[in-house]
Amino acid sequence: MGIKELLNLSDEDVKKPMPKPSKWSRPFWENTKQGKLTLKRCKDCGHIDQPPYLYCTNCMSENSEWIEASGKGKLKAYAINVYMVPFPFWDDMPYVVAMVELAEGVTMISNIVECDHDKLKNGMDLEVVFDDVSPEFTLPKWRPVKR
Amino acid sequence: MSKGEFAIIGTGEVPCGQYPERTEFEIAYEVARLAIKDAGIDKNEIGAVLSAQHIMGSEYNTEAVFGRLPEAIGAKGCKITCMTSSGGASSFSIRKTAEGILHSGETDTVLVIHAQRFSQFTMNEMARYFAVAGSDEEWDVPYGMTYNSLAAMITQGYLAATGTTIEQVAAVSVACRKWACLQPNAMYNKKEITVEKVLSSRMVAWPLTSLMCNVLADGGSAYIMTTAEKARKVCKKPAYILADASEYSHRGITTAKVKDLESLGTFLTPIAMKAYERAGLGPKEMSIFEMYGSYPVVQLILLDSIGICEPGKSGKLVASGATSPGGKYPTTTNGEALSFGHTGTGVGFGLFVEGVRQLQGKAGKAQVPNARFLIENTGGGAFMDCHFTILGNEIPA
Ligand SMILES: [Zn+2]
């Protein structure tokens, strides 16, 4: 039995929170829907901002482009949630929340999927996978690279 | 700010725990009364009443910014009232606001208040709030990130990088509980705990068990701050503010100024050293170390950064009992968020007020003998910033 039935919760109580894009981050989510992981890069100084902001946080230039990331990354650190998570994630437990450092140098919070929790190791190579969590949103997640 | 320009002359605090019948207004009025009484001043000497934000929203916030507190306290000489907030770092930013007001000369006496009542919210409301509070709504929350998982990730990364053991992490909870057992206002002050008990408590976010996570509670505290000149006249043993040093890092942990979890100390150490230098003191002169960790790993990273042990070795120090009552490095002498209780923006206030009590010789059973100087820190957000402060009951030359 899921947490919804167990505690007699409403649909709203167990609805997964979705990203709320800003004007400057919307392309990121439009691109993940197409199966592309993209990053906002400054055309003047080359700085990548993740999360993206209105203008470059390095030089304040508004001149930017979205580049496709390699989809390669490394596991920096992780936690395995097994209790006391918000109701929408209750039935997913245990799940891995991790810091992933992309080959492009930026770091993201994500889930590590398709993995044996006992075999996770900081520094291990990861590759991006796309999870269509709703009709509107696709989240980039990560799995260990198979050797 | 010059060294020892301002001082705290009295404090007030109420018991921390689940008290749903005690409103945040009652807490605020009561801690104010206790602080005024402790300072031994007339309430009408107070020229400014500052309050910290009640988190998760409350009518209290609106009332405070609409001037309820000076009226309810009967502070007839009040000229300025405001609310200051920077989340967990509020105890610092509000004190800076108080210093600015004192410096302006408009008044020489400021009352600072914190009050929080979490018990008015449901568990799910709190779980939802603390998922969002520590995390980015767009980039973290959709992944099921929580405050506990953030601390768990930092713990996992720190252990892997430094070789610190999970038993040593648990020892922080044990030491905090020992201190809390000496505190009449602590939430958990009845029974000490062991490393085994901490490790065998329910796993929450691996590697963190429930006894490595803080518990939200109702509580509050207040203090009276004056110029050093006035403090010397009206108070036998004021706690002087000797020096501060600050740094901001990030909103989300993924954009922290220091990228590697094993080198978080490289962010913190220069701040602590700057505070020591400005006070003209060093770690050897400190009697007490009031570290605002809220999770054991954060206390370890802080202890690594303040010049009392080699970076990465604080776990060994804590496990040896050095930070416990009677140890060489008395640390978080009120038991902090882990055992005193997590009162929202009030954790930093609680530690600050406890530090003042120690320096004033009013810490009761928790009193560290001959306490002269201490280092205190606070920080907010998802470890967004850090502020170290040196306090003393004398002004070193
Ligand atoms: Zn730029």
**Per-residue pLDDT tens digits for B294-333:** 999 999 999 999 999 999 999 999 999 999 999 999 999 9
Pair (A80, A144) in one structural domain: yes
Q: B330-352 pLDDT, tens per residue?
A: 999 999 999 999 999 999 999 99
Q: B20-29 pLDDT, tens per residue?
A: 999 999 999 9
Give how far A109 is from chain B: nearest CA, Å: 6
Pair (A76, A59) in one structural domain: no
Residue B357 has φ and ψ, to the nearest 5°, of: -55, -45
Please state at what angle helix B147-162 crosses helix B166-180, rounded to 10 degrees. Answer: 120
pLDDT, mean of residues B165-180 = 98
Answer whether B363's CB lies under 8 Å from B355's CB.
no
Least confident of A48-52, B178-182, B266-270: B266-270
Pair (A90, A128) in one structural domain: yes
For the CA atoms of A78, A83, A84, A90, the dihedral, rounded to the nearest 10 degrees, stands at: 100
Neighbours of A24 (CB within 10 A): 16
Rounded CA gap, B366 and B347, in Å? Answer: 18
- Model confidence at A130: pLDDT above 80: yes
Within chain B, strands assigned E span 6-13, 48-52, 80-84, 109-116, 203-206, 208-209, 219-227, 239-248, 288-290, 373-378, 385-392
Q: What is the pTM of this model?
A: 0.96
Q: Is A32 domain-assigned?
A: yes
| Domain extent for A51 | 21-68
Q: How many domains does chain A have?
A: 2
Q: Is A14 domain-assigned?
A: no
Pair (A114, A76) in one structural domain: yes
- Model confidence at B264: pLDDT above 90: no
Q: Does B136 touch chain A (CB under 8 A)?
A: yes
E strand or H helix that includes residue B315? helix B314-319
Instruction: Count how many pairs of residues, chain A against chain B, have C-beta atoms within 8 Å.
Output: 130
Nearby residues of B95 by Cβ (< 8 Å), 6 or more positions away = B112, B225, B241, B352
CATH number 3.40.47.10 given to B6-121+216-234: yes
Chain B residues within 8 A of A137 when measuring between CB atoms: 142
Pair (A77, A44) in one structural domain: no
| CATH classification of the domain holding A101 | 2.40.50.840
| Closest residue to B153, CB basis, from A78, A88, A137 | A78
Pair (A54, A91) in one structural domain: no
Please state at what angle helix B147-162 crosses helix B123-134, rounded to 10 degrees. Answer: 50
Q: Does A124 touch chain B (CB under 8 A)?
A: no
Tell me, what's the pLDDT at A1? 82
User: Which residue in B298, B376, B362 sits closest to B331, CA to CA?
Assistant: B376
| Closest residue to B145, CB basis, from A50, A80, A109 | A109
Pair (A46, A110) in one structural domain: no
Q: Give the single-character DSSP code of A15.
A: P
Pair (A85, A135) in one structural domain: yes
**pLDDT band for position B1 (50/70/90)?**
low
Pair (A77, A134) in one structural domain: yes
Taking an 8 Å cut-off on Cβ atoms, the answer to whether A80 and B206 are in contact is yes
**ipTM at complex level:** 0.97
Q: A43-88 pLDDT, tens per residue?
A: 999 999 999 999 999 999 999 999 999 999 999 999 999 998 989 9
Domain ranges of chain B: 6-121+216-234
Give how far B378 is from chain A: nearest CA, Å: 24
Q: Is A1 domain-assigned?
A: no
Taking an 8 Å cut-off on Cβ atoms, the answer to whether B144 and A98 are in contact is no
Pair (A146, A99) in one structural domain: yes
**pLDDT band for position A147 (50/70/90)?**
confident
Within A83-137, strands assigned E span 95-102, 107-112, 125-132
Tell me the pLDDT of chain B averaged across its residues.
95
The DSSP secondary structure of B172-240, one letter per residue, reads HHHHHHHHHTT-TT-SS-S----HHHHHHSPEEEETEEGGGS--B-BEEEEEEEEEHHHHHHH-SS-EE
Chain B residues within 8 A of A19 when measuring between CB atoms: 137-139, 142
Classify strands A138-144 and A95-102 as parallel, antiparallel or unpaired.
Answer: unpaired
Closest-CA residue of B relative to A89 is: B144
Nearby residues of B37 by Cβ (< 8 Å), 6 or more positions away = B10, B12
Taking an 8 Å cut-off on Cβ atoms, the answer to whether A137 and B142 are in contact is yes
Note if the bond before B296 is cis, omega within 30 degrees.
no
Pair (A138, A76) in one structural domain: yes
| Closest residue to A99, CB basis, from B127, B144, B153 | B153
